[in-house]
Structure 1
Amino acid sequence: MPKIILSRKGFDSSAGGKPSFLWNDKLYSIPVPQAYSEVAYKKLQIDENISYWKIMEDVGITQYSDAHLDPDLRKEVLQRENDPWLPIFGQADSALTHLLNEGVGEGDLFLFFGWFKEIEQLENGNFSHIKGKPDLHVIYGFLEVGEYFDVYEGKEHDNPAVQQHIHHQRKDRYTVPGKNGLFIGSGEPTFFKRKAGLFKFDKKLILTESGESRSNWLLPRCFFKDDGRCKLSHHKEKVGELANDDSYRIKSVARGQEFVAEMDDDIREWVETLKDLVI
């Protein structure tokens, strides 16, 4: 049985300190900062006319210059010229250990979520957060694993697209096998029309319960057992509160990035409802 992983990524209160962008019903996750990554925020593109840096500067995020572009889900986000590309997500240390202990690998589906807030473009061309709009945890993208590669010093992948990923390029930072790995979106897709990509914004992607702080979730009923216990790792001791026929209330854990569950028939049926949201 494949697994589904709700994976927390992008700016948060400890890395970046500001929400990512919800604009024109599209979700733009700001990759976390990483000094000297050689991926400047100025090179990351919302579209051909607007860079991530432009919006970041307008909303007051000016203390960072380079990004850790991971997961890398959309080829067009970075000017790559003719370089080869594959969608890839790199993970390391305790978060990777958790994924491997849960048996995550080929055939499993990552759904990436993060902290978002709606922005608007003003008449002068600058961007601003919209006053009164909520801070939300929202699912914004996905990656279906075609291959898992354990990266460590001295080990090379034979695909140039994999070699250029930062977890492979900087593999000297990780010298213990099993502490640095790549989940690669290769092969034919199973769940959606492509192996990785983004979703257009829709209320069914919002995890945060309306009117609550962003970590207070209203999760689909499929993520809970009949007795109300949550199926997601790091949450299995939590019992949700039934909110309606379709959802349970639950407080998401403050620590941890990767929340894993077996993709049973009920969860797979819910995943099917996301197909039309793939951009």
Structure 2
Amino acid sequence: MKLILSRKGFDTSAGGVPNPILPDGRLLALPIPDAQSVMPYEAITQQGEPLGPLVQDLTRGRVSPSHGAHLDPDLRADQHPRPAGWTPLFGQRGAAQSHLRNQGVGAGDLFLFFGLFRPVERVDGGWRFVPEARPRHLLWGWLQVGEALTLGDHLPAGLEWAAEHPHCQRIGEARNALYIARHALALPDGEGGGLPGAGIFPGETPRQRLTAPDAETVSQWRLPGWWHPGEGRAPLSYHADPGRWGRRGDEVALQAVARGQEFVLDADQYPEAIPWARELIREHGALEQGARSG
């Protein structure tokens, strides 16, 4: 089984700013701008918050409410009106999809989505980033793959409910794939406990934080000690350089690569990985989900 750390949402290059942490603690992972998308920001709501005003204010007008949004991964039914049969799903293409394919990612594997976040506040009727608050990488959602599909030159029969998804707007492009969520987690040794196969972490907790509390840059991560790739185990993909890893007592310091979208860990070599992910989802995930069985 594979565990994938997947970088998604706004950052300093895609969107130009971090994702917001609202004053009440809600995490909102903003879809990146996408001129090909048929869904504008003003049509999307996350955790009850309209995204149009947020992207307008936080980007200082560079991204307007009417601009197309790349709503991917698409994990919650309540973000937008849905057709019958809608299921959480995630798309990938190009070099990042080639990496997932080369790593053998497919049905049963578990994505944990992370992004760059920073607290925001309302001032004079608009949104702005809290000046003294520092950004950090946080885990914000998950999806266990029920079915992996390669999209060719037409939308497969039975997938009409996904027609608005941005990767379904790229039919005919090479290395274009969809990962459709399971209805419920199905983990090794029967672990899963009726938890949904996809969802979000609605607020910030210490266990979701990747960036170390004392970090000088957001890519200086602090992870549980079992992440260290000693004893001949394959490291997290893109992080094979031993100089990126260091021991910090019972924890591990990792200098994460500055770019890259999909970091794959072979959980069969790290027996602690799946119980850790399951507890993270059980303790901090938002459990509402509308998904078909898988």
Q: Could you tell me the TM-score, scaled by structure 2's length?
A: 0.85
Q: What does residue 99 of structure 1 align with?
A: 100
Distance 1:231 1:266, change over 3 A: same
Distance 1:18 1:102 in 2: 30
Distance 1:189 1:47 in 2: 22
Task: For structure 2, list consecutive stretches of 5 or more residues without a partner in the other structure.
Answer: 187-191, 287-294
Task: For structure 1, list consecutive stretches of 5 or more residues without a partner in the other structure.
Answer: none
The AA in structure 1 aligned to 2:252 is Y
The AA in structure 2 aligned to 1:18 is V
Q: What does residue 52 of structure 1 align with?
A: 51
- Shift, 1:236, TM fit: 2.0
Q: What does residue 197 of structure 2 align with?
A: 195
> Superposition pairs for residues 105-254 of structure 1, below 5 Å?
105-122=106-123, 124-154=124-154, 156-172=156-172, 174=173, 176=174, 179-190=175-186, 191=192, 193-199=195-201, 200-212=203-215, 213-226=217-230, 231-239=235-243, 240-245=245-250, 247-254=251-258
Q: What does residue 7 of structure 2 align with?
A: 8
Distance 2:152 2:125 in 1: 45
Report if the CA contact (8 A) 1:4-1:110 is conserved.
yes
1:37 aligns with 2:37: yes
Q: What does residue 77 of structure 2 align with?
A: 75
Report if the CA contact (8 A) 2:75-2:198 is conserved.
yes
Distance 1:228 1:254 in 2: 25
Distance 1:36 1:163 in 2: 13
The AA in structure 2 aligned to 1:206 is R
Q: What does residue 266 of structure 1 align with?
A: 272
Q: Could you tell me the TM-score, scaled by structure 1's length?
A: 0.89
Distance 2:264 2:61 in 1: 34
Residue 156 of structure 1: SS of its match in structure 2? coil
Equivalent pairs counted in the alignment come to 270
The AA in structure 2 aligned to 1:277 is H
Give identity over the alignment, percent: 34
* Aligned alpha-carbon RMSD (Å): 2.0
Report if the CA contact (8 A) 1:229-1:236 is conserved.
no
Q: Which runs of 4+ in 1 moved over 4 A?
A: 227-230
Q: What does residue 284 of structure 2 align with?
A: 277
Distance 2:185 2:7 in 1: 22
Distance 1:157 1:195, change over 3 A: farther
Post-superposition Cα deviations, 1:136-187, rounded to whole Å, max 9, x if no partner, equal 0111000000000010114514232234422123313x0x4xx010010034
Report if the CA contact (8 A) 2:117-2:138 is conserved.
yes
- Shift, 1:86, TM fit: 0.8
Q: What does residue 291 of structure 2 align with?
A: none
Post-superposition Cα deviations, 1:83-123, rounded to whole Å, max 9, x if no partner, equal 5411110000110000011000000000000110011234x
Distance 2:184 2:199 in 1: 14
Distance 1:127 1:153, change over 3 A: same
- Shift, 1:44, TM fit: 1.2
Residue 168 of structure 1: SS of its match in structure 2? helix
- Shift, 1:232, TM fit: 0.6
- More divergent stretch after superposition (86-95 vs 63-72): 63-72
Distance 1:62 1:233, change over 3 A: same
Distance 1:248 1:47, change over 3 A: closer
Distance 1:10 1:74 in 2: 15
- Shift, 1:260, TM fit: 0.3
Distance 1:47 1:267, change over 3 A: closer
Post-superposition Cα deviations, 1:245-268, rounded to whole Å, max 9, x if no partner, equal 1x1111111231100011232112
Distance 1:37 1:164, change over 3 A: closer
- Shift, 1:271, TM fit: 1.4
- Shift, 1:125, TM fit: 4.2
Post-superposition Cα deviations, 1:159-218, rounded to whole Å, max 9, x if no partner, equal 32234422123313x0x4xx0100100343224711111013111111111132111111
The AA in structure 2 aligned to 1:167 is H
- Shift, 1:276, TM fit: 1.0
